[in-house]
Amino acid sequence: MKLATLKDGSRDGQLAVVARDLKTAQLADAIAPTMRAALDDWAFIAPQLQELSTLLNHGRAARAFAFDPAQCMAPLPRAAQRVAAYPRAALAGARDDADKAALASPLELSEAPALQQCAADGMLGAQEAITLAHEAWGIDFDAQVAVICDDIGAGSTPDQAYGQIRLLMLLNEVSLRKLMPDELAGGGLLQSRPGAHCSPVAVTPDELDEHWRDAQLQLALRCSWNGKLVSPTQVRLPPFNYAQLLAHLCRTRSAGAGTVLSCAAEWDAQRGPGYYSIAAQRERELLSDGIASTPFMLFGDMIKIEILDSNSKSIFGAIEHTLHQAQLPLRR
């Protein structure tokens, strides 16, 4: 099934079930008022939402209305926590076999990703503008796929974590690349990650059929910048899947219902053109030409991120927004 959160003037919005073709929706207020409420009691709530989804997809929902992505908040406006996974070559600090044993992980150490805590209160709707003060900050997009999970206990295995994946959605992690070096020197990224824009709908794994396999989404993420497709047209799966990532996250701690974990898309430059963030393209240019020539975003630029199924139909709806300049207060 497909779920969305519609604007109603409140912080958490109203939960709605959306038809598979993204044309109609119905409020789920008689079942659960918000996405968070549904996640907090998923075993009881999900079958009722699924029943409503079936009625909607067969044109028999009693209170169906036209679905408008512009009226969507993020599917989960306030997450329990938000974590981003980024590939890296190896974990630092494993100096010998004894050390490596102590660092035992659900993932091979050579493949273990870096996990970064992100602001969970910056979950924005698919068509909300990116509003920032200065182009000089190095404004970038970063197309990602995220899962929303139920409670996962500390020390859970990948199989146990897999059973707790409830929903998937898309993210655009807006990044301010020129602010990152100073923040990394201080310990972590916060001001350089002002917010994440989410797809209009989140979908349950079964909605993806054969495209959700081995806890990985086997479809290409499409990213357009000012109307030009810049992402690769092929799929490259990372060496780890979302079940492994969640188990890795919970190696020493639990994760509560409503945890959002996203994984940065990656692409091997040797396999052809395309990128999911400007920073990735600039790094490629530095390696090949000695200079990064692709500029960061400018005010007025437009970004569109979506995933199409085998019939070229949008699965999650599109993240589609424009970069605007914030109106700064005048100094006296």
User: With bands split at pLDDT 50, 70 and 90, how would you rate the model's confidence at 272?
Assistant: confident
**63: Cβ–Cβ under 8 A, 6 or more apart, which residues?**
26, 27
∠ CA 196-242-167, rounded to 5°:
60
pLDDT tens digit sequence for 124-165: 999 999 999 999 999 999 999 999 999 999 999 999 999 999
Are 232 and 266 a contacting pair, CB within 8 Å?
A: no
How many angstroms separate the CA atoms of 229 and 221, rounded?
11
pLDDT tens digit sequence for 213-251: 999 999 999 999 999 999 998 877 777 899 999 999 999
Q: Would you state the pLDDT for residue 99?
A: 39
- CATH level 2 (architecture), domain 74-325: Alpha-Beta Complex (3.90)
How many of the other CB atoms lie within 10 Å of CB of 306?
20
Are 13 and 7 a contacting pair, CB within 8 Å?
A: yes
**pLDDT surpassing 50 at residue 93:** no
Q: What is the pTM of this model?
A: 0.90
CA torsion sign for 199, 203, 209, 213 is positive
User: With bands split at pLDDT 50, 70 and 90, how would you rate the model's confidence at 92?
Assistant: very low
Domain assignments of the chain as residue spans, ordered by start:
1-72, 74-325
Coil, helix or strand at residue 246? helix
How many angstroms separate the CA atoms of 295 and 277, rounded?
11
∠ CA 114-208-20, rounded to 5°:
125
